[in-house]
Amino acid sequence: MVLPEMIERKSGHVVTISSLSGKKGVPYEAMYSATKAGLFQWANALWLELEGSGVGVSTILPGYVSEVGMAASGVIPSPKSAGSVPPERVARAVVRAIREDLQEVVVRSGPTRIMYALNELSPGIGNWLMKRLAVVDHHRILVHEQE
C-alpha cells in the first residue's frame, strides 16, 4: 500500500475526485450522489487522521465537466442553466490542491456558484434554485428517456 509509505516518509498527497453531487444531491442520480458524498466524507476523515503527518489529502469537487465522461457520452448532458467546466480546469484544480495543500477545491461554472453558496447557508434555498435552474426537470427527463 502507498499510504503507509507516505506516512513513513512524512511526504505525499492523496487526491480524490468527488463531485458537487457529493455536497448537494442531484435528483434522479441519488446513488451517484451518495457515492460521491461518501468519497468526500472519507477524504475529510482521512485529512483529519493525517493532519500533521506531512501527508496531504485533497478532494476535488467538479460540477458538470464538458467533453469527457457522462457529458461527452450524451448519457447525462449538463443542463444549459447549470453550465459546465472543461476537463483542463479540473486538472488545474488538482495541481493547485497539491501545491497549496488544499483540503477541498470546488470546480464549477458561474451559474452554479450562487446555488452551492446559498445551499451551504440553507438547503431549502438550494433545492428551490435546483428547481428554478431546471436541474430537477432536466434529470427527470433524462431518466424517462433512458427507460
Burial of residue 132, with CB atoms counted within 10 A of its CB: 0-12 exposed, 13-18 middle, 19 or more buried: exposed
**Alpha-carbon distance 94 to 92, whole Å?**
5
C-alpha cell at 126: 438550494
- Please say if 64 is a catalytic residue: no
Cα 19 to Cα 11, 60, 120, 144, 146, distances in angstroms: 26, 7, 15, 23, 22
**Alpha-carbon distance 119 to 128, whole Å?**
9
Residues marked active site are found at 32
